[in-house]
């Protein structure tokens, strides 16, 4: 198996909110957690429950120190400023962390929300 990746993973501690794909069409409760790493193709985060592989979720990553300006994402000197990246993602990996009781969850981006 070739473990070559097209995008580099970047370890960051951003806030992430996730919820069911059905939240596109109705009200739903989102859960807040932390990003472990992120790349151009997906994100690894800690989930409170075991999400089924292949299921779709909505997520919002709060990227500190960035903002949207003239349709582009640009760095910002104010680290309290947050850019909200919203996406549809598919669960591709789930590992139970026995030490914390959480689930290391890998999700692949499949769509962007504006």
Q: Are 94 and 68 in contact (CB under 8 A)?
A: no
Domains and CATH numbers, the chain: 10-113 (2.40.10.220)
Output Rg (C-alpha) for the chain, integer angstroms: 14
- The three-point CA angle 44-39-114 to 5° equals 95
pTM score of the predicted model: 0.82
Chain mean pLDDT for the chain:
88
The residue assigned the tokens 């989102």 is: 30
Kindly report, residue by residue over 27-57, the tens digit of the pLDDT. Answer: 778 999 999 999 989 999 999 999 999 999 9
């Amino acid at each position: 198996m070739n473990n070559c990746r097209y995008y580099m993973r970047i370890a960051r501690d951003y806030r992430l909110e996730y919820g069911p794909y059905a939240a596109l069409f109705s009200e739903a409760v989102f859960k807040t957690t932390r990003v472990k790493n992120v790349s151009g193709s997906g994100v690894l985060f800690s989930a409170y429950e075991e999400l089924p592989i292949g299921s779709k979720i909505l997520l919002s990553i709060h990227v500190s120190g960035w903002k949207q300006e003239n349709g582009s994402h640009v760095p910002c000197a104010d680290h309290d400023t947050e850019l909200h990246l919203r996406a549809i993602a598919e669960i591709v990996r789930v590992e139970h962390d026995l030490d914390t009781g959480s689930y290391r969850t890998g999700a692949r981006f499949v769509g962007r929300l504006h």
